[in-house]
Every structure is written in C-alpha cells, then in structure tokens.
Amino acid sequence: MLVAAFIYFSVKSMKSKRNPLLPTEWALVGMLPGIAASLRRHVAAAGKKNCMNFFVTCDPVNIRHMYTSNFANYPKGEAFAEIFDTLEGSLLTTDGENWCWQRAMARQDLARPELLTYLSRRWCDKVEEDLLPLLSRAAVTGTTINMEDLLGRLVFDLSTTLVFGVDPGSLSVDMPPVPASPAFDAIMEVAFFRHIMPASMWKAMRWLNVGQERKLAEAQKLIHGFVLDMINKNRSQERGTAAPVDLLSFFMTNYPDDLSMDQTGEPNKLLHATLISFMIAGRDTVGTTLPWLFYNLAKNPHVVSAIRDELAPIAAASHKQEDGETLMVFEAEETKPLVYLQAVMFESMRLYPPILYERKSVQDEDVLPSGHQVRAGDVIFISLYAMRRVDSVWGDGYREYRPERWLSRDGSSLLYVPSHKFLAFNSGPRMCLGKEMAIAQIKTIVATVVWNYDIELVQGHAVKPKLSCCMQMKNGLMEGSKPTKSGNQGGFSFGRSGIAARLCSHDAAAGNNWYEFLTSTLLASGHTHKIRGPLASSMNFFLTCDPMNIRHIYTSNFANYPKDEGFAEILDIVEGTLVTTDGENWRWQRAMARQALARPELLAYLSRRCRDKVVEGLLPFLSHAAVTGTKINMEGLLGRLVFDLSTTLVFGVDPGSLSVDMPPMPASPAFDTIMDVAFFRQAMPTSIWKAMRWLNVGHERKLAEAQRLIHGFVLDMIKKNRDRERGTAAPVDMLSFFTANYPDDLSVDQTGEPNKLLHAMLIFYMMAGRDTVGTALSWLFYNLAKNPHVVSAVRDELAPIAAASRKQEENETLKVFEAQETKPLVYLQAVIFESMRLYPPILYERKSVLAEDVLPSGHQVRAGDVIMISLYAMGRVDSVWGKDYSEYRPQRWLSRDGSSLLYVPSHKFLAFNSGPRLCLGKEMAIAQIKTIVATVVWNCDIALVEGHAVDPKLSSSMQMKNGLMATVKRREGM
C-alpha cells in the first residue's frame, strides 16, 4: 500500500506542475527528486502547502552569509536535533549558550599538547603494529582486501582511543566482529532517510518500531552498550604516574558537575551524547576520507609518484632505514610540512566530502546574497557534494582529480581557499576544532601506506557512495596484493626488495571480501583457526582447510564427527534427511539412495532428458540471442535448465521453466533463499535467529515465505506425477521409486500430502541436484569465457566425436553430444574439476565433535565443539595446488601426456564430499555437466559483458550475486 500511495501522489504531483522536475515535497521521498534536478542552478527552492520553504544551495556567497556574516540567524534548529536524537544536547546539535559553553570546553580539551603527543604516538603504533602486518600478509598471499573495512577499523580504534583511552582492537589479525562500528554507520544512514521524508512519517515508524527506525533503535542499543563497556575499561585500566589524557578522563576531571556518571557506571545524558558525538566526529571524518583518498590514488598513479618524491628526503634521512627495518613508518612531525600531500588530501575531500550536506534553519526573515528571500522557520540544505562542481570556484576541470589546483605555481606552498568555498571542515564560528588533528592523522597513514605499497583497484568492482549523511562506500574498496619488483622509489634505495606491494585481484570474482578474508585468515593461521565460543562458553569453533584434518574428520575418525543438532536446526526444511542425519537413520537412507540412483533405467532416462532439454530449451535461446545480439543472463538460463532436470529426476515431471515464454517459477528462487538464510543462521547466534523466526522478521520472514512456496511446489509436482499418463514402462523418478519400494516409511496420503520424511527427502534431492550442477555450470562458463585457450582445447577434444557423428552428414546445424560420447573425455573433466576447485558449489561443511580428540594439526577438540570446513579456502592451499593456485589451469588435473586424469584424493578436493558421505550422485552430475558444456562450447562463442561485475553471493552455495551477463555468437563454421 505504501508503494501504491507513493506512485499515486508522485504522479499526481508531476501532472500538477508545468515542470515535473522542479523541487517539491513528494510522497515518502520528500523533496529529494527535485533537489537532484535543480542543484546545477546553485540554489533550489521547494515548498509545502504550509508557509515553510526548503532551500538547497551550493552558492559560496550564500554559505559565507549563513556561516559567518549572519551566523546567529541560521542555527541548527530543533528539527535537526530531533533527527540526530542520538546526539541530542551535544555540540553537534545545539545552538546558543549551550553550544558556546561546549565549544569552549572542546577547544580547551583538543588543544592540550599532551593529547596531541599521545595521539601522534598511537597513530604510528597502530599503523605499524596492526595495519602494515595485514597489508604485508595480503601482499604475500595475493589476497584481495577491502581497504574501506581495514581503514574503518583503524580509525574506529583510534577514535575510541581518543575518546575513552581504550583500544578496542577491531583492527587485529583475527578481525573480530565489532557490532558498534556499523551501528555508528546506521546513525548516519537513518538520519539521511529522516531528512528526506516527512517528520510525521518517520516518527510514526519510530513509534511502530519498523523499517529504518527499527534499525536505528537496534544501533542505539549497541552504541549504548559499547559506551558503557568502554567506560568500564577506562575505569579498570591500570593508571601510571602520568594523568590520563583521553576525553572521558578530561571531562570527568574538569567538568564533574555537568558531565558525570552514577555509581553503576551509567553516564548522564549529556556525557553519553558528548562521547558519542566525539566518536562520530573523529570516525566519520577521517574514516570516510581515507577510503576515497586511496580510491583517487589508485586511479591516479602519477599522484602517487609525486607523493613519493615529496617523501623521499624524509625516508633518506630516517635512522629507521639504517636499522635494517623493511617498512618505513612516518611520524606526524615529519609529514606536517608536506604541502603536496595535503593538497592530495584536500582534492579528494573536495570531490568526496566526508559529510554530504549541512542543514540550517532560519530564525528571522532575511534575503540571501543569491536574492532568495527566506522566512522564519524555513530550512536550508547546503550540498557539499554539489559545491565541488561550482565551476566559478574550481574551473572547467572541476570533475578532474588534480591536487595541483591547491598549490602555488612553484608548488612550494598551499593556496588559500576560504572555508565558504571548501566546507569539508565547516566554516565560520563552527569551524572544526579537530581539523589539524584530522589532517595530521590522515597524512601519517597515507604517507606510510603509499611509501610501502602500490595501490590498484579490483577490476570490475563498482565503487559507489551509499545513501547516507556521510560519504560511505556502498560496496567497500576492494583491493588485493602481490609483491612488486625491487628497486628505488622516489630516489631512495630500499634495504631489501622495494617493499612495495601492488593491491589488485586475480579476477573480478575475487572481490567478495568475506570468502577472501576467511581464506587469508586460514592460510595465515596454518590452515586451521580456532575461535572461542560466545560469552566465554566452553564450546570452541574451528575453521579449517587442512587436508590432513579433513581426512581425519571424514574418514579416519568418521564416527566422532557427526552432523550436529545445530546443523539440522539450521537446515530445518530438510530435517531428518541424508544431509542432516547420522547413525542408523543415515545408513538406511544412504542404502536406499544408492539403490535408487544406481538403476540403469534412471541413468538412461536422465541422459535422454538432459539431451532433449538442451536441444529443445537451451539451444533455441542461445541461437536467438546470437541472431538478435541480445545480452543474456547465463546463470538464469542454466539455473532454469537444471531446475527442470532436477524436478524431472525427483518427480518425473518437467515444470517447463526453460521455455519460450520464460514463465515465473517462484519455487526456484525460494530454493536459493534456503541457502542464503542458512548462511546467516550459521553466522549469528542461534538465539537471535530463533527470536527472528518467532517474530517473523528479517531473513526469517523471507525463509518462511520460501518454505511456503516450496511446500506448494512439492504438492503440485506430486499431483502432476499422479495425474500423468502411465505407459507400459514403470516410472523411474525418485518419488515413484520411494513410494513403490518403501510404502511403509515414505507415503503419500489420499489428499496428496506426503509424510514429513518423504516431503523433506524430495526437497533434499531437488536441492542436491539443483545447487551442485546449477552452480557449477555458471562458474564454469565464467571461467571458459575468461580463458579462450581452454575453450579451444575443449573443442579439439570434441572434434573427433563431431567428425565421426552421422548427424554432421545429415547437414544438421547444431551438434548435440550424448552422455556416452563425452564420458571418456578427460580434458573436459579436468576443466570441470578445476572450476569446482576455485568455485566449489557448496562453500563450507559443518561437523560437530562427539568425544575429545586431537586433530592432525595439533588442535585439541572437545565434545560439543563445532568444526567448519571451508571448501573455498581448500582450493587455495598452495601445498596441494602449487603457488599458482589462483590461476584457472585444467592441466593440473592431467598426466604429463594429457591422456589421463591424475588421482586427487577427496580430502584435498571436497566438491563431492569425502569418506562414507561421498556424493552418490557424483557420476550423474559429471555426466550432466559434460553434456551441457560440450554442446554449448562446440556450437557457440560465449563472451562476458564488459564491465559486468561477477561476484559470489553471501550464501551457503556459490551463487552469483549479479548473475552472469554474456553475449552469444554462433561459432564460425558451425
């Protein structure tokens, strides 16, 4: 209903105006569309039916008027304080006497020499002890990293140290989750939405505790808990002879009557808001500036060279290099006089200001220098983002990143740019008191990183701003690392080998930081990483990709490592099936599955159906795309193909999702949801997701809807299975086999409802076939599109079969390969296995510990512990796959002469599981994939759409986040 109301009132508003894009108060989104259309004119005016007006400006003379000349007439206003109610009463939201008092207090505090000395030392220590080791590890392992996350953690720790005198350690080797950090982001994101929608609406949402307001309430709770925790740590830490210099200690010592805490450690309301405001001020300004600065440097390598030229004399004169240290860490005093480095920073802040807009209210009637008349109660928004595009200030080249615009002709000094033209640090009486501190901090960090490392962006990774009050990145800043050549930088000779690391990635798909981070953690930890359970419980979590551990768990001591009850709860839709059970029930079901899947008539039936489906469903779509030049989503097509084949296997019914009209098939994405939500259930405490399930909110609401759709799909397929015409041959599908051979255990009642176990088993077999084959195919075509030499080699192996085929003599235009023809092809199978090594269909396995044991890695495990096996990381263990593990190279699976497949034990390649749980459908899946790939590769050329980002989704299976967009051409000569 909200969407319908939005469309109705928005269209009505457009029709009522001569120019529908002039700013107005639209339903739900307020005046945002009009603002976006009008900013080029430097001032946009918008009004409601009442007498209040909204103005949006980026005119420097207006800004000088409001911020300096007539400052008292343009306060923050009560509405601004309501929007930022988390900071209510603090320096950022107040006016008048209260603001004057707090500003004087802050000036006194931030100007203390002992504070500046302390912080300068902490910046250097934090960079040297935490940031550089992580970058160095990325350089050695070639890991893709999210620089925005690293820098955000660094600045979060530094801001917390400034405010509380405590380092929370969010930037450390194990990269612990820090819920308070994204909670601070949520404050700015929700403030953005509060700005653009009517106050009555967001207040109603707050009262109902829904949407963004629910998110804000949770964020405020997390931040409140964080503040209390830091206060307790501040109080309990050992005190030396020197007085503490952090802000909390300063406030408590110098303003005990105004800023106090009770005996329980609870700060009063003003102190609480003040501490949070200083956290936000430090964290959001510096933490937002740094990622965009490195983004600009990565896009402008000539600027990096100029920075190094400026740093070279300092590095050459440093005694640190004489001590044989390999990494140069710059001090704040060393970087303070560097003008080019400061110009680099200011130019980045001009293009990407940390805070996107300022808001002012009007106290008394006035006329702005632009000629606009404002009245009491009007609201003015100042767009810092638009200010960067004022060509009268920055020239015609305002879009370019050019630090030289800030420098004198000879480059020896910074040009003066008044703050009303460059508002990154505010202007007038509200000029940022921490400006010099922020500049020093940024210069220290940038100088050290730039001197020691080369920066490159991940190819294809989209860097975009998020909808927020501050310029956060929507997708992070993805980068990776590898060592560079030794040599000189900026004229200075390094002691060892140049120490620079180029941050890049091996392919676009490496851009998902979760899987890459998990892998780098495991590789850096010796392939096994231990995590203590929550709330100091006796349970431990182990992450491993160690083949010896896997052999031990899956084979040598199989009985001690069952699936646990927690796993069965996480995948509750298939509870009681092969994938979630152990013991006698598992053995009985496995024997039944072996009997069902080994039937020759089933294999022959599926082979025929796979061939027919490719001919009648897939190839016509590819041919049409080739003729029309249409871009297609290969992941979507292949998913529909495999969905139909899996349904045919399980129910003996083709649902026809891959047909000319491409019908909606809600059950198919519902199966994806099962795997998506399973991932989130694994990643959060059980009590949280169970509470969400009880409340029917978030991912659990999405899961409930998916389960309803899948249940309906199963019932529909059972009905079609019963209603279809029966020939003389007995049906071979799994449903018919189960109900015929195990009627006492697996039955369907007269209404068509299967019993609970049969229902779960049917869903399990659908998921097993669909997720393995469907996911493997998408990533395989991705790898083939990126490696045309592999495609040529596959065609060379297929050529003798095609030449011998009688169908070619009959002048058929498309060659379709049979399963029996592709079965002996070893290179094609190596192509499949190599793709599944890099992109395993199932990303991790989970095991519980039954009795105390010692893993081959030396880790002691106890009853109740949980072990997570990362298949993604297993494909990147260099002791198994070699130093070139990141490359797609099918030859690694072949004998020297290429005539046979090398044996790789399943505990090193876990795509089809291992030990007693080895996948019974392995050969069936390989046959399907080979038939499909051979036919498509022989007849078509597949190319990726340029610029399309191919990333894995956060899920239990290796689904693609954005699909696989491709173009198709008929192969020449075919």
Tell how strand 53-57 and strand 379-383 pair up. parallel
C-alpha separations of 560 from 105, 333, 552, 553 in Å: 63, 59, 10, 8
**CA torsion angle for 872, 875, 877, 882 (degrees, to 10)?**
-150
What gap in Å lies between CA 724 and CA 824, rounded to an integer?
A: 36
CB 848 within 8 A of CB 866: yes
Contacts of 749 (CB under 8 A, 6+ apart): 755
* DSSP one-letter code for 95: -
Q: Which residues have C-beta within 8 Å of that of residue 797, sequence separation ≥ 6?
A: 825, 827, 828
Of 934, 915, 907, 912, whose CA–CA distance to 925 is shortest?
912
Q: What are phi and psi of 690, to 5 degrees?
A: -70, -35
CB atoms within 10 A of CB 358: 21
SS3 194: helix
SS3 state of residue 302: helix
First and final C-alpha spacing in the chain: 53
Strand partners of residue 366: 374
Residue 329: CB partners within 8 Å, gap ≥ 6? 124, 127, 128, 132, 320, 448
Neighbours of 331 (CB within 10 A): 18
Q: ∠ at Cα 900 (895, 903), nearest 5°?
A: 75
- In 583-646, beta strands by DSSP E: 632-633
Binding residues: 919
Amino acid identity for residue 166 in this structure: V
Cα-to-chain-centroid distance, residue 830: 31
Give binding residues for heme as ranges: 919
d(CA 874, CA 144): 17
CB-CB contact of 383 with 58 (8 Å): yes
Within its chain, how far is the Cα of 935 from the centroid? 35
* Tally of CB atoms within 10 A around 972: 6
Distance CA 469, CA 186 (A): 10
Relative to beta strand 379-383, strand 357-361 is: antiparallel
User: CA 754, CA 548: separation in Å to the nearest integer?
Assistant: 42
Q: Which SS3 state, helix, strand or coil, does residue 811 take? A: coil
Residue 46 β-bridge partners: 54
847 in helix, strand or coil?
A: strand
Q: Could you say which DSSP state residue 175 is in? A: -
Structure tokens, 454: 């080369």
